[in-house]
Chain A
Amino acid sequence: MATAHRPVSTVDTARAPGTARTSDREGTAGSMETAAPRDTAAARGTAATADTADATAADRAADAKAADQAADAATLQAAFNAAVAADERIEPRDWMPDAYRSTLVRQIAQHAHSEIIGMQPEANWITRAPSLRRKAILMAKVQDEAGHGLYLYSAAETLGASRDDLLDKLHSGRQKYSSIFNYPTLTWADVGAIGWLVDGAAITNQVPLCRCSYGPYARAMVRVCKEESFHQRQGYELLLALSRGTEAQHAMAQDAVDRWWWPSLMMFGPPDAESSHSEQSMTWKIKRHSNDELRQRFVDICVPQAESLGLTLPDPDLKWNEERGQHDFGAIDWSEFWSVLKGNGPCNEQRMTQRRRAHEEGAWVREAAAAHAARHSERERATGDSERAIENSERAAEDSEREEATA
């Protein structure tokens, strides 16, 4: 089962017949290819200075080859630029710049990790949900987050990343997840505040990502956004029920909003002036709007929603600016953001410990499934079940013929 060739990811990256150049099929190989012209040029450079007098035919051949490759690279880059400029999607097997690929892997991986870690703060309340209705809703939501993580890991794999490697990087802290999940869920109302504010901020971020230049990421986002809308509405409804409930329930809802508001605004990332990746990502159309732009949009959306909830947002400077046609809001405490990002949030340690433990404790399930699959396929071979398999596939073929005939 262990083949030298790592499994190709998704239809888009599947094996092409009779193509000598395998390089565009996988991320790592692709990077090697694009690195080649530079390497050759460098090697030729040293050789040339070493013995300048001895310009051999081999040198000239290398010259020509390097020139060819450089021209190739320029053509590929031009085709990529044109596709991005024309708002076409880049697909996994297309040539893409190394930095574009690595930026996407980093971003998609962080996004996937956030979905997986994001299951924890809410799962914390499943056993204590106040009704069966709320419990069923919360379980469905947490299951969705797992699903979103899997869509995103798949998208990262189309770029040549491996699932295990990504998980390793999460578990060893080499890749990050959204800082928001390092805050605790202290009361039941936090489940509502997360749905309304955290998922609301995530949606504001993710809707433009549906038009991201990288096809598989954009497609994953379309699916995610459809599902997030339920997350946000259930949170809003939950808060509304509390807000209209007893005095204590109302206070609980207000307290949750007070604690989650500022961290939610930080979810859009540092101010544009300090955002290190923003500009390049905008050029590549991975990102469509700046951090500050999306943050402003989110604030403007939330203000009337808070009013309908009968709750206030914890910002004395928050007010409508007639001139701008937008809300002004108070300064964000970025020192808190950076501190949480560096690992000093209230729950960083707990989230990572639990993630690692879940992975370790799930090992026997993965082993059992693999063992079952191995034994099953062995038995199939041994007892001639393969005949049945052939019958099955014939039946499937007939089915699809029939479908075609009736289509």
Chain B
Amino acid sequence: MSSSTEWPLWEVFVRSRRGLSHTHAGSLHAPDAEMALRNARDLYTRRNEGVSIWVVPSAHITASSPDEKDSFFEPSADKPYRHPTFYDIPEGVKHL
């Protein structure tokens, strides 16, 4: 069989320049990691958009569920004291 969907799906992450982290660029189908890298180069870096590429099989990515988006992130919602703006500092105090 020759269908392209037999090829697994890969997620492509591109580092746009040194000093920045890789960010998700998109996805593509490829038979193996090596081809995924080459395809990613042709598809997502035709204009020098990257200096480094990661490809990851989509099936290997574990994601949080949108169903529990509130409850899952709830623990941080009621902790404003984690932000510097929570604190009242007298005017004129410097370097703080």
Chain B residues whose CB sits within 8 angstroms of the CB of A10 once the complex forms: 9, 11, 26-27, 58
Chain A residues whose CB sits within 8 angstroms of the CB of B66 once the complex forms: 24, 91, 93-95
**What residues of chain B have their CB less than 8 Å away from a CB belonging to chain A?**
1-9, 11, 21, 24, 26-32, 34-35, 42-43, 46-47, 58-59, 61-68
Q: List 21 A-B contacts (CB under 8 A).
A: A1-B8, A7-B8, A7-B9, A8-B9, A9-B9, A13-B63, A16-B65, A24-B66, A93-B65, A144-B46, A147-B42, A150-B43, A154-B26, A154-B27, A162-B5, A164-B5, A369-B31, A369-B35, A370-B7, A372-B32, A373-B35
**What residues of chain A have their CB less than 8 Å away from a CB belonging to chain B?**
1-2, 6-17, 19, 21, 24, 91, 93-95, 140, 143-144, 147, 150-151, 154, 157, 162-164, 167, 219-220, 223, 227, 363-364, 366-367, 369-370, 372-374, 376-377, 403, 407
Separation in Å of the B45 CB from the closest CB of chain A? 11
Separation in Å of the B74 CB from the closest CB of chain A? 17
Chain A residues whose CB sits within 8 angstroms of the CB of B4 once the complex forms: 163-164, 167, 366
Chain B residues whose CB sits within 8 angstroms of the CB of A227 once the complex forms: 46-47
Tell whether, in the assembled complex, residue A150 and residue B28 are in contact, meaning their CB atoms are under 8 Å apart. Answer: yes
Contact A376/B28 with A163-B4, A366-B2 known, Cβ cut-off 8 Å? no
Chain B residues whose CB sits within 8 angstroms of the CB of A407 once the complex forms: 21
Total inter-chain residue pairs, C-beta < 8 Å: 114
Tell whether, in the assembled complex, residue B2 and residue A15 are in contact, meaning their CB atoms are under 8 Å apart. Answer: no
Separation in Å of the A399 CB from the closest CB of chain B? 10
Among A14, A140, A374, find the residue whose CB has the most chain B CB atoms closer than 10 A.
A14
The 6 closest A-B pairs by CB, nearest first: A373-B31, A373-B32, A14-B61, A16-B65, A7-B9, A363-B2
In the bound complex, how far is the Cα of B34 from the Cα of A10, in angstroms?
Answer: 19
Beyond A16-B64, A154-B27, A373-B32, 4 additional contacts (C-beta under 8 Å) are A7-B5, A8-B59, A143-B42, A154-B26
In the bound complex, how far is the Cα of B8 from the Cα of A2, in angstroms?
Answer: 10
Minimum CB distance partner of A94 in chain B: B66
Tell whether, in the assembled complex, residue A9 and residue B31 are in contact, meaning their CB atoms are under 8 Å apart. Answer: no
Tell whether, in the assembled complex, residue A17 and residue B27 are in contact, meaning their CB atoms are under 8 Å apart. Answer: no
Tell whether, in the assembled complex, residue A11 and residue B29 are in contact, meaning their CB atoms are under 8 Å apart. Answer: no
Tell whether, in the assembled complex, residue B58 and residue A9 are in contact, meaning their CB atoms are under 8 Å apart. Answer: yes
Chain B residues whose CB sits within 8 angstroms of the CB of A157 once the complex forms: 9, 27
In the bound complex, how far is the Cα of B29 from the Cα of A135, in angstroms?
Answer: 29
Minimum CB distance partner of A216 in chain B: B26
In the bound complex, how far is the Cα of B7 from the Cα of A1, in angstroms?
Answer: 9
Separation in Å of the B69 CB from the closest CB of chain A? 9
Contact A147/B43 with A21-B67, A162-B5 known, Cβ cut-off 8 Å? yes
Chain B residues whose CB sits within 8 angstroms of the CB of A163 once the complex forms: 4-5, 29
Separation in Å of the B62 CB from the closest CB of chain A? 6
Which one, B29, B32, B46, B67, contacts A147 given CB within 8 A? B46
Minimum CB distance partner of A404 in chain B: B21
Tell whether, in the assembled complex, residue A1 and residue B6 are in contact, meaning their CB atoms are under 8 Å apart. Answer: yes
Minimum CB distance partner of A403 in chain B: B21
Separation in Å of the A358 CB from the closest CB of chain B? 13
Chain B residues whose CB sits within 8 angstroms of the CB of A363 once the complex forms: 2
Tell whether, in the assembled complex, residue B35 and residue A16 are in contact, meaning their CB atoms are under 8 Å apart. Answer: no
In the bound complex, how far is the Cα of B24 from the Cα of A12, in angstroms?
Answer: 10
Chain B residues whose CB sits within 8 angstroms of the CB of A16 once the complex forms: 62-65
Tell whether, in the assembled complex, residue B3 and residue A366 are in contact, meaning their CB atoms are under 8 Å apart. Answer: yes
In the bound complex, how far is the Cα of B27 from the Cα of A9, in angstroms?
Answer: 8
Tell whether, in the assembled complex, residue B11 and residue A7 are in contact, meaning their CB atoms are under 8 Å apart. Answer: no
Minimum CB distance partner of A6 in chain B: B5
Contact A7/B46 with A93-B65, A373-B31 known, Cβ cut-off 8 Å? no
Chain B residues whose CB sits within 8 angstroms of the CB of A374 once the complex forms: 31
Which one, B11, B26, B46, B63, contacts A15 given CB within 8 A? B63
In the bound complex, how far is the Cα of B42 from the Cα of A83, in angstroms?
Answer: 35
Chain A residues whose CB sits within 8 angstroms of the CB of B26 once the complex forms: 10, 151, 154, 219-220, 223
Chain B residues whose CB sits within 8 angstroms of the CB of A364 once the complex forms: 2
Minimum CB distance partner of A364 in chain B: B2
Chain A residues whose CB sits within 8 angstroms of the CB of B46 once the complex forms: 140, 143-144, 147, 227
Minimum CB distance partner of A155 in chain B: B26
Chain A residues whose CB sits within 8 angstroms of the CB of B7 once the complex forms: 366, 369-370
In the bound complex, how far is the Cα of B2 from the Cα of A352, in angstroms?
Answer: 20
